[in-house]
């Protein structure tokens, strides 16, 4: 049984306005990929975390300074907002329905030719059916004092997502099917054995998309889909440890949420984290509604956008009210 893997990333946009803070990063590619995996396996056991903290390399320290500059620049432009957008970004049912279709039924890149092409590619609806069990792990560079803070933060967000979707989503130490790793750049480059333990069937292209993340990619999630059912079976997310707090929290919100089955971004999605302009840092009311729609039982995995559109319109109107 084939298992396509969908990779989504939170990546640097508008690099020209920020690149001056780190000239060595100029011209980095944005590696958003969709590739092909293999047969499904049962959930893998918990991956043990290294105990000893290791000092960061010069490259990691340089990235920490760079991402601090990125966040400062975004904030100075009025981006990375943490409000709901209600005052200046109102939306109606039609806009919600259109954005949901663009984000849930399309992938940003097409790899059917064997190479990545930046072309919106329509897919069928995909989501989880089995309970989502998130295993949070840290690289040795992450101070142990930070671990309980991160666990509490992630647990709280997962509980919010579970309430929104009506689906079981929570932190776990066993039966993990959604791996969430917080790693610095050195640890990302060395993560291949961990990824292979999480999914021994992963192909080389999928693996390289994780360990070769360029600095222009803030974070990413790759999830595997059973193409006979259109159900997500496993996910593997990487969050950079060098981020300042708001950029870090933004990555947690976006990658965990995209790993639930909302893979695309759209410039029309506002207010939303599913928009590469980085205007909103945290999950918004529109995003919450899209999650409710994704896991509504009236929609089924495998539906095309055309098949689902009448139901989506009904759901959007129920959530927002009639359009003006």
How many domains does the structure of the chain reveal?
Answer: 1
Q: What is the pLDDT of residue 323?
A: 57
DSSP class per residue in 198-230: H-TT--HHHHHHHHT--TTEEEEEEEEEETTTT
Which CATH number covers residue 251?
3.40.390.10
Strand bridging mode 178-183 / 231-240: parallel
Nearest by Cα to 261 from 286, 228, 285, 287: 287
CA-CA-CA-CA torsion sign (157, 162, 278, 117) = positive
Strand 34-37 vs strand 106-107: parallel, antiparallel, or unpaired?
unpaired
Q: Which residue carries 């009236």 as its tokens?
A: 298
User: What are the tokens at 245?
Assistant: 């707090």
Distance CA 265, CA 277 (A): 10
**Block residue for tokens 């205007």:** 279
pTM: 0.84
Helix (H) or strand (E) holding 60: helix 58-76
Phi, psi for 276 (deg, rounded to 5): -70, 0
**pLDDT beneath 70: ranges in the chain:** 1-53, 108-120, 322-324
Measured distance CA(64)–CA(129) in Å, rounded: 38
pLDDT at 188: 96
For residue 99, what are the domain limits? 3-44+55-320
Q: What does the alpha-carbon distance between residue 255 and residue 262 come to, in Å, rounded to a whole number?
A: 10
Output the pLDDT for position 205: 74
245-282 core/surface letters (b: 16 or more CB in 10 A; e: else): eebbbbbbbbbbbbbbbbbbbbeebbbbbbbbebbbbb
Per-residue b or e along 293-304, where b marks 16 or more CB atoms closer than 10 Å to that residue's CB: bbbbeebebebe
Residue 86 lies in a domain: yes
Q: Are 198 and 74 spatial neighbours (Cβ–Cβ below 8 Å)?
A: no
Cα–Cα distance for residue pair 64/57, rounded to 1 Å: 11
In a domain, 50, yes or no: no
Residue 49 lies in a domain: no
What is the structure's pLDDT at 206?
74
Is 78 inside a domain boundary? yes
């Amino acid at each position: 049984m084939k298992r396509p893997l969908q990779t989504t990333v939170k990546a640097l946009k508008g690099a020209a306005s920020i690149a001056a803070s780190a000239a060595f990063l100029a011209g980095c590619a944005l590696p958003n990929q969709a590739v092909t995996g293999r047969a499904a396996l049962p959930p893998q056991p918990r991956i043990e975390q290294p105990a000893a903290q290791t000092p960061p390399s010069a490259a990691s320290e340089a990235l920490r300074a760079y991402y601090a500059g990125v966040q400062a620049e975004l904030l100075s432009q009025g981006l990375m907002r943490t409000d709901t957008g209600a005052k200046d970004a109102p939306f109606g049912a039609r806009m919600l329905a259109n954005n949901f279709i663009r984000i849930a039924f399309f992938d940003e890149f097409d790899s059917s030719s064997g190479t990545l092409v930046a072309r919106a590619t329509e897919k069928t609806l995909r989501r989880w059916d089995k309970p989502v069990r998130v295993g949070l792990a840290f690289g040795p560079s992450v101070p142990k004092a930070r671990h309980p803070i991160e666990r509490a933060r992630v647990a709280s967000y997962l509980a919010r997502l579970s309430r929104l979707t009506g689906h079981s989503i929570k932190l776990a130490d066993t039966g993990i099917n959604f791996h969430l790793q917080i790693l610095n750049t050195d640890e990302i480059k060395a993560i291949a054995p961990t990824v292979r333990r999480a999914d021994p069937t992963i192909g080389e292209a999928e693996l390289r998309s994780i360990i070769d993340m360029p600095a222009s990619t803030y974070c990413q999630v790759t999830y595997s889909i059973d193409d006979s059912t259109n159900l997500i079976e496993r996910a593997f997310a990487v969050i950079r440890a060098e981020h300042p707090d708001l950029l870090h929290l933004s990555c947690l919100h976006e990658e965990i949420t995209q790993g639930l089955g909302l893979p695309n971004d759209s410039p029309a999605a506002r207010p939303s984290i599913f928009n590469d302009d980085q205007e909103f840092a945290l999950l918004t009311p529109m995003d919450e509604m899209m999650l409710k729609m994704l896991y509504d039982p009236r929609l089924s995995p495998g539906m095309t956008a055309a098949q689902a559109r009448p139901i989506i319109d009904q759901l959007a109107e129920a959530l927002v009210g009639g359009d003006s």
